């Protein structure tokens, strides 16, 4: 194919994309869901954190498990799968528990999301969430999130 034809075809394609309608948010409208995560912690040799997706007064809480960093020199790759015990719990400050889940999760290399607690809470309330991971050789060291819910 001739260079000029390739350039003309590429330019026409780019112009077609630029002319396509793009969905936009109306003035004053924000994204429906806001994600907030607490500080990462080290548990069972992995990096963990607890996060919340908030849409109005609806809150979905989950934990994340990922690699803590690059492997040490000489470490076999990929690492052997790890069987982990996970616990996710949440409560509404001054009111009481929103829910809790415990289970087993297999971690390989990719980040794992542990779901399980969701609730509708009053605007202006504070949700406290805790996520812990336990391995065969290490006990839990929970990570937490204190989240004011502003609808």
Kindly list the domain boundaries of the chain, sorted by start residue. Answer: 27-148
pTM of the model: 0.75
pLDDT of 3 higher than 70: no
| CA distances in angstroms from 68 to 42, 50, 72, 77, 142, listed in the order given | 7, 15, 11, 15, 15
CATH assignment of 27-148?
2.60.40.2420
Which tens digits make up the pLDDT trace of 93-136? 989 999 999 999 999 889 999 998 999 999 999 999 999 999 87
Pairing of strands 112-120, 58-67: antiparallel
């Amino acid at each position: 194919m001739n260079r000029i034809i390739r350039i003309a075809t590429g330019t026409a394609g780019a112009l077609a994309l630029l002319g396509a309608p793009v969905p936009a948010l109306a003035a004053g409208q924000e994204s429906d869901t806001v994600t907030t995560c607490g500080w990462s912690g080290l548990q069972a040799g992995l990096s963990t954190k607890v996060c919340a997706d908030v849409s109005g007064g609806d809150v979905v809480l989950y934990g994340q498990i990922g690699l803590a960093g690059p492997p040490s020199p000489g470490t076999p790759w990929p690492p052997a799968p790890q069987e982990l015990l996970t616990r996710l719990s949440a409560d509404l400050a001054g009111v009481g528990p929103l829910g809790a889940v415990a289970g087993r999760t297999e971690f390989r290399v990719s980040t794992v999301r542990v779901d399980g607690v969701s609730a509708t809470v009053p605007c202006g309330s504070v949700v406290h969430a805790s996520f812990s991971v336990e391995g065969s050789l290490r006990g839990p060291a929970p990570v937490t999130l204190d989240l004011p819910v502003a609808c």
